Amino acid sequence: MAGGTWIRVAVLCLTFSAICAFAQPSIHQDDRLEGAYTFERNGWTYVHLQGTPDQIGYQHGYLLASQIEDAYHVFKLQDEHSTQRDWAFYRNAAKTILWPHIDPEYQQELSGIAEGVQAKGIHLDVWDIVAVNGTMELSDYYVPWLNKQQHAQNPPKLNAPGNCSAFVATGSYTKDGKIVIAHNNWTSYAEGSRWTIMFDIQPAKGHRIIMDGVPGMITSNDDFGVSDAGIMLSETTISQFEGWNSDGSPTFMRSRKALQYADSIDDVVATMRTGNNGGYANDWLIGDRKTGEVAYLELGLKNTPLWRTKDGYFVSSNFARDPKLIKEETDGFKYDDLSTSPNARRVRWEQEMASHKGNIDATTAEQFLADHEDSFLKKQQADQHSLCGHVDTVKEGIPQWDWAPYYPGGAVQGKVTTSDMAEQMSLIAHAGHPCGEDFLAAPFLTAHPEYLWMKPILRDMKSGPWTTFKAGEKQNQE
């Protein structure tokens, strides 16, 4: 009897242990996750990453795995639709065109993202991750160049996009004489509803960074960020730009490298010019809180002029300002056509700078990004001409970017920082239209069935409040 009892007890204990083991969630033990964390606030996902490139990448991929998979489906569908090239093409371009020109540090980080995603059971590899990072340079710059090289028959019409509105001001233009910089991201609402990651990156080498971004991307890609070296960075793309150099390094890598390693405006400029591939050609707005100086780098492929000042401002809304660049590197961009979105917004920026001279601060910057004044029609109207763009309301679309009538795109979020905030590694961000209006996908698709191809990726883009974020903060901090 006693022996039988002990046998029954042992069996019961083993059974109970097995049940408990089955009930416990699996705990991922990879040491590379140490110190990393994430939380949600007001429409944003804040993620803290730290360590070596491999650690940062793995943390990124593991913590944001489902969001990375979701973003991948967005860019895959959009790129295949617009360029008529399948995803295998993009994976091959990532491997053969981009990867050989990526610094080893960032190759390790990209590989780490893929490994982290795979640890969550998601079947994406490093070439998918690189292609997502290079989505804009490949689809909007490399493919048009390649179509010409291959004399493609009846290729789709592809113009370099004109995404974003931004300004930087200093000296007599701001309330405290220090730098104020602000930016709203213009893109498709499918992308914009995902462009809500707040990255706090503390690398083993280089400077700490706080920046907005997309799941899976190693740089902001609308390129708004602050480093602990006092560098404040933003940009807007150059409309109708043409140019590509397959022997250059990806813009997404150079922009991350500039923010991580630059100690001065000169450093930023040198990094962006070195190995320039012409992809994702931008007007870069740069501030250095240590000196109070601001700069404007117009980064074409052949032409890269630079302006700088310690008392003044620069505005940017997808227009090229250098006549030589316009003539040599754009497909007929017209600086004097004030009916176009880039130029109408340029006029509005100039009006705002003039009327608020001496009073520009973070609050006025938020108001600028929410502005609905149409400078061309001279009335309040949320459309392609307003700083807070709503192209889904516009029959004309934006032909300069191949945005068709009622294209579901416009200003999808906003960011602001100042010298004093940058010293604290802090910025203010707004998810969704900075004006506060929501975009609802279902009624839009009902009204515009021509965009039903976007149904798998187009979702509601709710507008959240302006929210302050700081490097190193935790979920319970406000």
- Domain of 266, CATH number, reads 3.60.60.30
Residue 369 counted as domain residue: yes
Residue 150 counted as domain residue: yes
Joined together, the tokens standing for residue 42 give: 């007001």
Provide the number of structural domains found in the chain.
1
Joined together, the tokens standing for residue 267 give: 């450093």
Residue 414 counted as domain residue: yes
Residue 127 counted as domain residue: yes
Residue 2 counted as domain residue: no
Phi/psi of residue 422, each to 5°? Answer: -60, -35
What is the per-residue pLDDT for 4?
46
Containing domain of residue 470, as a range?
A: 41-478
Q: Which of 220-240 are b and which e, b meaning 16 or more Cβ less than 10 Å from the residue's Cβ?
A: bbbbbbbbbbbbbbbbbbbbb
Task: Return per-residue pLDDT of the chain as tens, 478 residues.
Answer: 444 444 343 433 444 444 343 333 334 578 999 999 999 999 999 999 999 999 999 999 999 999 999 999 999 999 999 999 999 999 999 999 999 999 999 999 999 999 999 999 999 999 999 999 999 999 999 999 999 999 998 898 888 888 899 999 999 999 999 999 999 999 999 999 999 999 999 999 999 999 999 999 999 999 999 999 999 999 999 999 999 999 999 999 999 999 999 999 999 999 999 999 999 999 999 999 999 999 999 999 999 999 999 999 999 999 999 999 999 999 999 999 999 999 999 999 999 999 999 999 999 999 999 999 999 999 999 999 999 999 999 999 999 999 999 999 999 999 999 999 999 999 999 999 999 999 999 999 999 999 999 999 999 999 999 999 999 999 876 5
Residue 282 counted as domain residue: yes
Contact 318, 236 (CB under 8 A): yes
Residue 433 counted as domain residue: yes
Strand partners of residue 182: 167, 416
Residue 4 counted as domain residue: no
What is the per-residue pLDDT for 477?
61
Residues 6+ positions from 325 with CB-CB distance below 8 Å: 238, 298, 300, 302, 303, 305
Joined together, the tokens standing for residue 322 give: 């250098």
Joined together, the tokens standing for residue 171 give: 């000296």
Rounded to whole angstroms, the Cα distance separating 135 from 249 reads 14
What is the per-residue pLDDT for 283?
97
